[in-house]
Structure 1
Amino acid sequence: MRLTEQQIRSLYGQDVQDRSGAKIGSVGQVWADAAGEPTWVSVKTGVMGHHESMAPLQSARMQQGKLGLPYDKAMVRGAPSVETGTDEPLDAQQLTQLYAHYQLPPPTPPAPPRQQAAGYPRGPELTRSEERLLVGTESEPAGTARLRKHVVDEDVHTTVPVEHDEVRVEREPIAPGDRRARAGIGDEQQEVRLRAEHPVVSKEQVPVERVRLTRDEVVEDQPVDERLRRERVEADVPQSARPRR
């Protein structure tokens, strides 16, 4: 990826996207080879820590002010890293690890043993610094949910139909000449057995319901308020040395 000096300077802090357009992080530093050609960038991924993942500028593209890399987010975040804010050159071992991670062929002719962080001095300069907010997440216990089963007594009122025998006396006159009736005087006894039902209660245990605990992960936005510091650079230039418009 051949960039102008202005484009290289504009890379710092720009968003970095993977091949699908998902944001990986932002550019932290740019490295150039011995010829001054930018070849590598470090990417601030936003993960808590003091290291930035390295990514090659080969086949990278600038699109709408964002740096697009032809790699997946996971590959970039898992790449060899450097300390945040470092300006140390990349040594031969670091370059070998980077080419192997991204499965890139070593450059021809062979790469020089060290690559310097890109710099383009134009007279005296100051480095302006500012604080960036790094916000991550941390999991912590938030309580325990339990299911408990215990026995309670419940009064049940119901009704059940029961039968019983009742006796009534019926009298039937006998017509004259009825041969089924026989006359006779004397003591005699007849009886009828009576029947009565009464409620009988028993109990049985039956399953009626399954109760379970289900855990759902819910994502919500929580506000984070913090105060950041940044530096301002002011130039005190004599009027006679200022450019004329």
Structure 2
Amino acid sequence: MAGTLQPQQLMDSEVVDPEGHKIGKVGNVYLADSTREPEWITVKTGLFGTKESFVPLSGASMDDKGVHVNVAKDLVSDAPRIDADGHLSSSESAELYRHYGLPMPRTAPDTSGGRGTSGPTPGRGERTAETRGMTGDRDRAGRAGEREQAARGTGDEGMIRSEERLKVGTEQVEAGHVRLRKYVVTEEQQVTVPVSHEEVRIEREPITDGRARTDGKLGEQEQDITLHAERAVVNKETVPVERVRLNTETVTEDQTVSGEVRKEQFDIQDDSSKRHRKS
């Protein structure tokens, strides 16, 4: 509710009507003399926000999207034109209450005699403004000068357009683990090795000179010879054959990244020629 809102929270906040339409931004906050709680706000509307309209805070609430008021945007646009100079007279307050269809608050009789008084004024709806930083008159005078300069179209300062851009860098992250492990496998291996063996060969030699001596008798006789052969013998031995170690190297490659960025654009409304264009 309006009674829980603080002037510092309200300043420069977006004002939204019950249908979700943005009305403008808060320019000034007006406090009730009797309760010192926010009662009215002025909303910057019109071309470049140079016009301020009074909006009631009765039943208003606030969240991260802005101040939600209980009056429609069109009703704010048609509100009576009253200068936001820091004070409302009784007649101006009554005119605003009638426009918004709100009942006049019951307060003490007005003895101020009109505009220009300082501090809380007992009366029929008198209000006083509180601005950011509590600098009051100096801030209001500065804003009035800015509005007048914008109305004349002679201001040197323009609006700055900003946009977001992707700022891409790199960071070192863990990408995985590599483990080197040694284990034993068994495989069949064939090796050809030459081996030799002895074989019997019968040699026959004819006797022609008759010099061979025999006993002249026939009979049985035998001769025994031992044969030899080589046999393949397999033995195993372990020998080092290779050294393996883990190491790293840096490989650079191109990678495309994408992301959404926002940028500001200008919306120009020219009331004199009824033109509307974007830039």
Normalising by structure 1, report the TM-score. Answer: 0.48
Greater percentage in helix: 2
Q: Between the two structures, name the one with larger relative contact order (CA 8 Å, sep ≥ 6).
A: 1
Choose 1 or 2 for highest CA Rg: 2
TM-score, normalised on structure 2? Answer: 0.43
